[in-house]
């Protein structure tokens, strides 16, 4: 019997035309998941260092090889003047405007920070912030044009 006999084979094609809204939403959801993991690691006083593959060229032999390297993840939160933690949802380098003129969420503790990130994650999944993400994306793209 062949090795493929145990698998369920189907005739399926991948849709190359995924809607840009879904692409932006998926990109932001991945970044929010990283921020949640980073916040949990900070709360537990442990290191969080996701890795990614990079192509590195060996100086002596000239051979290019894939190497796993740590990925830099910057915190989206900071301590404000009043001692509270503020969290800004970021799309690339741009802060997403959550309400008219408001780009940050004020939270108190690490638990509240994680809860706020999870609420933002649910809002992005539901599509509640699609127009704000589109605006941030357009602003980001405008910076690349000459």
Range of the domain at 36: 19-48+74-142
How far is residue 83's CA from residue 86's CA, in Å, rounded to a whole number? 9
Mean pLDDT in order along the chain per 10 residues (146 residues): 81 84 94 96 92 91 92 94 94 92 91 95 95 92 84
For residue 61, the SS3 value is coil
Number of domains in the chain: 1
Q: What is residue 59's DSSP assignment?
A: T
The answer as to whether 29 is a domain residue is yes
The answer as to whether 62 is a domain residue is no
C-alpha torsion angle, residues 97, 103, 107, 109 (rounded to 10) = 100
The answer as to whether 98 is a domain residue is yes
pLDDT of residue 13: 86
pLDDT of residue 23: 92
The answer as to whether 65 is a domain residue is no
The answer as to whether 83 is a domain residue is yes
Give the Cβ contact number of residue 26 at 10 Å.
13
pLDDT tens digits, one per residue of 123-143: 999 999 999 999 999 998 898
Give me the chain's average pLDDT, please. 91
């Amino acid at each position: 019997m062949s090795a493929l006999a145990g698998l369920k084979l189907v005739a399926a094609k991948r849709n190359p035309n995924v809607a840009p809204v879904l692409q932006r939403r998926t990109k932001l959801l991945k970044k929010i998941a990283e921020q949640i993991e980073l916040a949990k690691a900070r709360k537990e006083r442990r290191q969080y260092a996701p890795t990614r593959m990079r192509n590195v060229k060996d100086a002596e032999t000239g051979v290019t090889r894939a190497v796993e390297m740590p990925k830099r993840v910057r915190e989206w939160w900071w301590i404000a003047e009043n001692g509270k933690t503020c969290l800004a949802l970021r799309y690339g380098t741009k802060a997403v405007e959550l309400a008219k003129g408001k780009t940050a969420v004020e939270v108190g503790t690490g638990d509240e920070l994680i809860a706020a990130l999870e609420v933002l994650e649910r809002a992005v999944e539901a599509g509640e912030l699609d127009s704000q993400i589109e605006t941030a994306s357009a602003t980001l793209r405008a910076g690349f044009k000459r």
